[in-house]
Amino acid sequence: MTTTTQLKKITVPKKPKTPNTTSHPTYFQMIKEALLALHEKSGSSPHAIAKHMEAKHKAVLPSNFRKILATQLKNSAAKGKLIKVKASFKLSEAVKKITKPISKSKKTRTRKTKKVTKVAPVKPTKKRLGPKKMKSPAAKRANKASAKA
């Protein structure tokens, strides 16, 4: 005797996916902020960028943010937003042009009054007049011999 059993498929209503809303800014914004704050001529290392991000946004960053940062740095360099110099990254010229007009407009909006402070007069230092005397090796040896005697 053969019996066939039918399994009933249980359908569970699917929950609509909510977009991941993070409380931190985008990774590129955090990278750009770190690069501008660090001001290194040859670019900043990923480790330095990660330390700066961790100092600023430690409470809201996920535990694997360093891995995500590495992929974001690589992708941004591939897109041309960042320039890779040896093992460091710096902002490309196109991104720098975008950020400069913003910073100029902020400077014109806020004006601060300058405080005038008196500076103590600087005392002139004594300078050696004339060329430095050079001694020949023979003169040095004679000087040492006379000092020993």
Residue 9 placed within a domain: no
Query: How many domains, in total, are found in the chain?
Result: 1
Task: Decide if 56 is inside a domain.
Answer: yes
The answer to whether 48 and 11 are in contact (CB under 8 A) is no
H-type alpha helices, 80-133: 93-109
Q: Has residue 59 been placed in a domain?
A: yes
Q: What percent of the chain lies above the pLDDT cut of 70? A: 64
| pLDDT, tens digit, 9 for 90 and up, residues 93-106 | 877 777 665 445 45
**Residues 6 or more apart in contact with residue 22 via CB below 8 angstroms:** 60
Helices (H) and strands (E) in the chain, counts: 5, 2
CATH at 74: 1.10.10.10
- Expressed as residue numbers, the domain containing 47 is 27-105
In-domain check, residue 143:
no
In-domain check, residue 85? yes
pTM of the model: 0.52
Is position 129 within any domain?
no
**Element containing residue 146 per DSSP (H, E):** helix 137-148
pLDDT < 50 positions in the chain: 102-103, 105
Rounding to the nearest 10 degrees, give the CA dihedral for residues 136, 139, 141, 143. -140
